[in-house]
Chains A and B, each alone.
Chain A
Amino acid sequence: MELILFYIASTVAILATVFALTRSNAAHALIYLIVSLLAVAVIFFLLGAPFAAALEVVIYAGAIMVLFVFVIMMLNLGEEGDQRERQRMHPAVWIGPSILSAVLLIEMLLVIVNVDGPQTGALIGAKQVGLTLFGPYVLAVEIASMLLLAGLVGAYHVGRRFRLSEPAEEDKKNQEQA
């Protein structure tokens, strides 16, 4: 049975990804992308990796996608944004993602109802992952923390508001040096 659930979830994942990358509106694409990530989380769960599934939902579909939403909302401010907001309420926009995520919801209910039904081959729980992560891989954790710090500093530096005259001045300086 879990095989059928797996095929359904992977179909949803691939369909949602294809839809996401072929939209013209970035906000609509984002909805499909979130559905795709949720479908991959279902696949993780069926594979017997519940911790990875939880991380996928919390960090990918939660945190990273919220970053995308922030940037997209920052980019289309103004009257155009209002019009798009009205378009966003149109049923044609949300019906596709809703159907795909309803499929995932039905799968989850099925899994919950027959508790002893879907048996994944092997369960690798959070405890085992944690022991491995802070055992042999503790150096990788340090490197990941440094990477996150570098990402933080880099995002702060790149994202700050430069003065508008700055590019021209830079060009002059470059020409003088040349």
Chain B
Amino acid sequence: MEGLAIPLNHVLIVATLLFITGLAGIMFRRNIIFILMSLEVMLNSAGLAFVAAGTAWQQADGQVIFMLILTVAAAEVSVGLGLVLQIQRRFRTLDMDQATRLNS
């Protein structure tokens, strides 16, 4: 573990800040496209934490998990954007508070 030039703590702080930004985006935005973007930001920050930890311990596992996160993000966003198209067709809006048919 010879000299990681960038302290792990600082990378984890950056990842946490990105995660909090994404979480705040999910909570405060009501447009479904922005909610999906916030999800992307959160997955990305998790990937950053994995890669940083993998580098700190000199293992390739972190990057492997990052690739799996990438796969999950790709699958999630394709289904999510399909749902966006359906919501736009049925409700003529992207506001999530309008799509409350399950609530009835």
Using a CB–CB cutoff of 8 Å, the interface residues on chain A facing chain B are 2-3, 6-7, 10, 13-14, 17-18, 20-21, 26, 29-30, 33, 36-37, 40, 43-44, 46-49, 51-52, 55-56, 59-60, 63-64, 67-68, 70-72, 74-75, 119-122, 124, 128-129, 131-133, 137, 140, 144, 147-148, 150-152, 154-159, 161-162, 167
**What distance in Å separates the Cβ of B94 from its nearest Cβ neighbour in chain A?**
7
B96 adjacent to chain A (CB < 8 Å): no
Question: For B21, what are the chain A residues with a Cβ–Cβ distance below 8 Å?
Answer: 14, 17-18, 21
B88 adjacent to chain A (CB < 8 Å): yes
**What distance in Å separates the Cβ of A54 from its nearest Cβ neighbour in chain B?**
11
Partner of A52, one of B18, B37, B51: B51
Question: For B99, what are the chain A residues with a Cβ–Cβ distance below 8 Å?
Answer: none
A40-B44, A124-B60 known, 10 other contacts, Cβ within 8 Å:
A47-B52, A49-B63, A122-B58, A124-B59, A129-B63, A132-B61, A133-B60, A140-B68, A147-B75, A154-B82
Tell me the number of A-to-B contacts counted with CB atoms below 8 Å.
Answer: 185
Question: For B59, what are the chain A residues with a Cβ–Cβ distance below 8 Å?
Answer: 124, 132
Contact present for B5 and A3 (CB under 8 Å): yes
Contact present for B77 and A158 (CB under 8 Å): no
B31 adjacent to chain A (CB < 8 Å): yes
Question: For B40, what are the chain A residues with a Cβ–Cβ distance below 8 Å?
Answer: 33, 60, 64
| Alpha-carbon gap, A26 to B38, bound state (A) | 12
Question: For A29, what are the chain B residues with a Cβ–Cβ distance below 8 Å?
Answer: 34, 37
Contact present for A17 and B74 (CB under 8 Å): no
Contact present for B63 and A13 (CB under 8 Å): no
Question: For B60, what are the chain A residues with a Cβ–Cβ distance below 8 Å?
Answer: 124, 128-129, 131-133
Chain A proximity mask over B14-26: 1 for CB below 8 Å, otherwise 0: 1001100110110
Contact present for A72 and B33 (CB under 8 Å): yes
Contact present for B64 and A132 (CB under 8 Å): yes
| Alpha-carbon gap, A40 to B78, bound state (A) | 22
| Alpha-carbon gap, A44 to B44, bound state (A) | 11
Contact present for A43 and B74 (CB under 8 Å): no
Contact present for B37 and A144 (CB under 8 Å): no
Given A17-B21, A21-B25, A147-B71, A121 and B5 contact (CB-CB distance below 8 Å): yes
